[in-house]
DNA sequence: TTTAAAACTGAACATACGTTCAGTTCAATC
DNA sequence: GATTGAACTGAACGTATGTTCAGTTTTAAA
């Protein structure tokens, strides 16, 4: 029997997500209508409901998907070794990952407040899991006597805030290459945590 | 003659701004209706138009007012002296100022995209002026041989991003006092810029 | 070529939006 | 206590919103 007759949701589905991501990043979740998203995809608004039960779920799916991707990428890349090396690896990874996905990063910070409480908790838990990765490195560094941090929790948040700030100004093809940016930030991070 | 008969716009006006600030910070500019703002103030929506020509101008007024206040406060507080001392002063000032106005800070970063191009330019220029205050300190510090910064522009943005990040977690009455927070961040900033 | 599921349209739904405005209420001046 | 203008109401305006759904088109398997 025709199990997948007429189907090309595997084409439209991703296009809906891409359009929503771009528009949410540019104008904000509340300012974007389902008709605008549909217009970008070249489809009527009603067709979107083949891909999301509602607008709120679409946002949640984008944010959760981004966090899953972030954690998976870090898990795949991270290595054992001494804390200073791991800290450098984290620093470079975070910058590179963020710079490659400015829109996803943007809405992950901006649109949390538009999630329902349950959905917020899910995304927030993933964010904390990512922060814990850095905190573990800092903690190990202090234990090993390689780093000097009065409060690893605060240092974690300070470092992440500093690194994520790259996204507010970095543009590919600008004055500095990504490698230069990574190096400058790594120097600052290393010194900030007494490494 | 009755020049100011029936007037108490000096009461309602600020209340409109406070309600708008709070609601914009909590739910986002686009997600907040004029009727919600009016409801918070205890007035009908039409009455708001005695205080702003439209919703967009209300947002602009809040953002511009905040930036003016920020620059005025720093101008009043900053002193001459050696760069390291000025950097410490800036660090402590920025943390304190931000922590006292979490909502204004929040919308100043989040709602820029909802400003018209002309209004955006105005606010953006003020933000750059503030950044230039820090960059001048770093520049003087490098010139004086007190600091070691490969790129003052990037260091400026990195430091501000790090300091502004305090707002994402700091709550009055929490684990750390404001003085402790200032000290921890000042230690990190000082080391990050080689001071 | 038939068939049936998937994809999509187009119109409709109730509701909400920003903004305007004629009319009413209020409070300060005379 | 009368007057006058500011402050505000309440209803209306055109338009837009998220979502639903009966009906049509498209696609791939049979």
pLDDT in tens, B61-92: 999 999 999 999 999 999 999 999 999 999 99
Q: For chain A, what is the domain count?
A: 2
Is residue A128 one of the residues assigned to a domain?
yes
From chain A, the residues in CB contact with B131 under 8 A are none
Provide the CA A149 distance to its chain's centre, in angstroms: 26
Please judge whether B162 and A164 are an interchain contact, meaning their C-beta atoms are less than 8 angstroms apart: no
CA distance A144 to A152: 14
Read off the pLDDT band of B131 (50, 70, 90).
Answer: very high
C-beta separation of A154 from B175 below 8 A: no
Residue A162 sits at the chain B interface (C-beta within 8 Å): yes
C-beta separation of A98 from A164 below 8 A: yes
Is residue A3 one of the residues assigned to a domain?
no
Residues A109 and A185 in one domain: yes
Tell me the H-state helices in A28-82: 34-41, 55-77
CA distance B66 to B25: 13
Instruction: Check whether residue A55 has its CB closer than 7 Å to nucleic acid strand D.
Output: yes
Residues B66 and B37 in one domain: no
Domain of residue B155: give its range.
55-192
Q: How buried is residue B49: exposed, middle or buried, by Cβ count under 10 Å (0-12/13-18/19+)?
A: exposed
Closest Cα to residue B169, out of B155, B185, B187, B192? B185
Please judge whether B30 and A28 are an interchain contact, meaning their C-beta atoms are less than 8 angstroms apart: yes
Closest Cα to residue B157, out of A174, A142, A63, A151? A174
Please judge whether B188 and A158 are an interchain contact, meaning their C-beta atoms are less than 8 angstroms apart: yes
B88: CB partners within 8 A, 6+ apart:
B186, B190
Q: What is the pLDDT of residue B3?
A: 47
Q: What is the pLDDT of residue A152?
A: 98
The shortest CB-CB distance from B192 to any of A26, A157, A188 is to A188
Mean pLDDT of B142-146: 97
Which CATH number do you get for residue A147? Answer: 1.10.357.10
Is 0.95 exceeded by the ipTM? Answer: no
């Amino acid at each position: 029997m025709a199990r997948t007759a007429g189907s090309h949701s595997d084409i439209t589905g991703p296009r809906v997500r891409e359009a929503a991501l771009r528009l949410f990043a540019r104008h904000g979740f509340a300012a974007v209508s389902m008709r605008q998203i549909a217009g970008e995809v070249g489809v009527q608004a009603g067709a979107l409901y083949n891909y999301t039960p509602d607008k709120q779920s679409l946002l949640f799916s984008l944010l959760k998907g981004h966090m899953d991707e972030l954690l998976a990428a870090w898990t795949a890349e991270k290595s054992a070794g001494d804390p200073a090396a791991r800290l450098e690896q984290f620093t470079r990874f975070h910058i590179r990952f963020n710079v490659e996905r400015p829109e996803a990063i943007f809405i992950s910070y901006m649109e949390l407040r538009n999630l329902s409480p349950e959905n917020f908790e899910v995304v927030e838990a993933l964010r904390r899991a990512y922060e814990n990765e850095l905190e573990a490195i800092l903690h190990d560094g202090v234990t090993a006597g390689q780093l000097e941090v009065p409060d690893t929790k605060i240092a974690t948040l300070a470092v992440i805030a500093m690194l994520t700030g790259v996204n507010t100004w970095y543009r590919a093809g600008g004055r500095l290459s990504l490698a230069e940016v990574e190096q400058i930030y790594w120097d600052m991070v290393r010194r900030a945590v007494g490494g």
